[in-house]
């Protein structure tokens, strides 16, 4: 191993990426050094690039969809050994001591760290990560496929498996993009009667290939009305970050149904309380998960051959890759291969 590595750094909020040469970091106590094979580029990386997340210090290496191999472990690390394949997602570690941690709710840790925000992430050849933030990657899952599953994958998979939906229930996925194209696959693999909802009718063939039993063209018909015709949805997973997309499906819930928001709109969402009262329905949110959730996602994806649609880029092309994501031109996840 060389003494230096290449990394894509954001020097200050709003600045362009800089490709720099740095010393390879040594893992501290409780940390693991990961040789990064792939790192997904996510919409949430804008928090670092634009400086819109509180507490981020600069310069900072973004990236919270890391897939790679353990190269070295710090003191007090017994769970991981060099050579093991691992991934790290949004949740970058927890304190084990706060009230949430004492209840096992690690994602709600009062002192939680975020990969690529609290510490340097995966837009680099190496990254050091807290040992508790790592998930094992199955041998038959490529690193470039595993990386997006550590954010888009875990968010949709975890939201669905923690819902009250059961096999055979009607489950709709709104938006067939970076999150939604995985949500459709998970819904189908879980045995739900799966509905894909999109304003892009040209995505219908893809949605059906991914496992959708029904397709709703939201540009031409009311999604809520169509969901009611199908019997009412137990779950509507909204992945499109638009308030009107969320509002358009609340009326399509069946009894005790839930709209689960994973794509976060930039504006408040208005709902008809009478509709919710009438169905005992709910509008709720879901965000990613901890490392064990990531590992469950990876294992289920490998078991059912669920992979993301990706575009790959070299680290040299980080600016182009990031712009591709920001401009919504990617189909559907962008992955760096440092």
Q: Is 44 helix (H, G, I), strand (E, B) or coil?
A: helix
Whole-number pLDDT of residue 247: 97
Q: Is 196 helix (H, G, I), strand (E, B) or coil?
A: strand
Name the strand (E) or helix (H) holding 197. strand 193-198
Contact 183, 239 (CB under 8 A): yes
Task: Dig out the tokens for 244 from the structure.
Answer: 């009107």
The number of residues making up the chain comes to: 338
Average pLDDT, the chain: 97
What is the distance between the alpha carbons of residues 126 and 138, in angstroms, rounded to a whole number?
20
**Distances in Å between the alpha carbon of 255 and those of 155, 164, 165, 246, 283?**
24, 12, 12, 18, 13
Percent of the chain with pLDDT over 90: 99
- Report the chain's terminal Cα–Cα distance, integer Å: 15
Under CATH, domain 154-285 is a member of which superfamily? NAD(P)-binding Rossmann-like Domain (3.40.50.720)
β-pair partners for 23: 4
What is the distance between the alpha carbons of residues 86 and 334, in angstroms, rounded to a whole number?
19
Identify which of 20, 41, 53, 293 has the alpha carbon closest to the alpha carbon of residue 154.
Answer: 293
What is the distance between the alpha carbons of residues 192 and 169, in angstroms, rounded to a whole number?
5
What is the distance between the alpha carbons of residues 86 and 68, in angstroms, rounded to a whole number?
6
What is the distance between the alpha carbons of residues 326 and 309, in angstroms, rounded to a whole number?
17
What is the distance between the alpha carbons of residues 268 and 270, in angstroms, rounded to a whole number?
7
Contact 245, 175 (CB under 8 A): yes
Buried b or exposed e, range 167-201, using 16+ CB within 10 angstroms: eebbbbbbbbbbbbbbbbbbbbbbebbbbbbbbee
pLDDT of 2 above 90? no
- Work out the pLDDT band at 1, boundaries 50, 70, 90: low
User: Quick one: the chain helix, strand, coil %, rounded to 5?
Assistant: 30, 30, 40
pLDDT of 319 above 70? yes
**Distances in Å between the alpha carbon of 111 and those of 80, 93, 139, 154?**
23, 9, 32, 21
- pLDDT tens per residue across span 117-173: 999 999 999 999 999 999 999 999 999 999 999 999 999 999 999 999 999 999 999
The pTM assigned to this predicted structure is 0.97
Whole-number pLDDT of residue 316: 98
- Work out the pLDDT band at 14, boundaries 50, 70, 90: very high
How confident is the model over 6-27, as a mean pLDDT?
98
- pLDDT tens per residue across span 39-49: 999 999 999 99
How confident is the model over 301-328, as a mean pLDDT?
98
CA 308-312-313 angle, to 5 degrees, is 155
- pLDDT tens per residue across span 218-242: 999 999 999 999 999 999 999 999 9
- pLDDT tens per residue across span 272-314: 999 999 999 999 999 999 999 999 999 999 999 999 999 999 9
How confident is the model over 65-90, as a mean pLDDT?
98
Domain 4-151+289-336 sits in CATH at 3.90.180.10
- Work out the pLDDT band at 322, boundaries 50, 70, 90: very high
DSSP code at position 98: S
How confident is the model over 55-79, as a mean pLDDT?
98
- Provide the greatest CA pair distance for the chain: 64
User: Distance from CA of residue 33 to its chain's centroid?
Assistant: 22
Helix axes 154-161, 180-189, angle to 10 degrees: 40
- Work out the pLDDT band at 111, boundaries 50, 70, 90: very high
Domain locations in the chain?
4-151+289-336, 154-285
Contacts of 108 (CB under 8 A, 6+ apart): 100
How confident is the model over 320-334, as a mean pLDDT?
96
Domains 4-151+289-336 and 154-285 share a fold: no
- pLDDT tens per residue across span 193-212: 999 999 999 999 999 999 99
């Amino acid at each position: 191993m060389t003494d230096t590595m290449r990394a894509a750094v954001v020097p200050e909020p709003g600045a362009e990426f800089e490709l720099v040469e740095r010393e390879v970091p040594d893992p501290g106590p409780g940390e693991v050094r990961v040789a990064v094979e792939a790192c997904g580029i996510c919409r949430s990386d804008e928090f670092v690039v634009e400086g819109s997340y509180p507490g981020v210090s600069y310069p900072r290496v973004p990236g919270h969809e890391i897939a790679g191999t353990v190269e070295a472990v710090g003191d007090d690390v017994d769970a991981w050994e060099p050579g093991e394949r691992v991934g790290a997602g949004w949740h970058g570690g927890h304190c084990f001591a706060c009230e949430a941690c004492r209840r096992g709710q690690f994602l709600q840790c009062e002192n939680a760290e975020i990969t690529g925000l609290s510490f340097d992430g995966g837009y680099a050849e190496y990254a050091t990560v807290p040992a508790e933030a790592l998930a094992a990657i199955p041998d038959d899952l490529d690193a470039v496929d595993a990386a997006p599953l550590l954010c888009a994958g875990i968010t949709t998979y975890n939201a669905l498996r923690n819902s009250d939906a059961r096999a055979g229930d009607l489950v709709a996925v709104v938006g067939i993009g970076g999150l939604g194209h995985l949500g459709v696959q998970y819904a189908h693999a879980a045995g739900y009667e799966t509905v894909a909802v999109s304003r892009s009718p040209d995505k219908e063939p893809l949605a059906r290939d991914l496992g959708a039993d029904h397709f709703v063209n939201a540009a031409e018909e009311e999604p809520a009305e169509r969901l009611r015709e199908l019997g009412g949805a137990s779950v509507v997973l909204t992945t499109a970050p638009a308030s009107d997309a969320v509002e358009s499906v609340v009326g399509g819930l069946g009894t005790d149904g839930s709209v689960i928001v994973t794509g976060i709109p930039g504006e408040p969402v208005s709902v008809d309380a009478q509709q919710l009262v009438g169905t005992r329905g709910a509008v709720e949110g879901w965000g990613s998960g901890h490392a064990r959730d990531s590992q469950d996602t990876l294992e289920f994806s490998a078991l059912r051959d669920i992979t993301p649609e990706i575009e790959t880029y070299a680290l040299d092309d980080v600016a182009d890759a990031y712009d591709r994501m920001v401009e919504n031109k990617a189909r559907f996840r962008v992955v760096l291969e440092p």
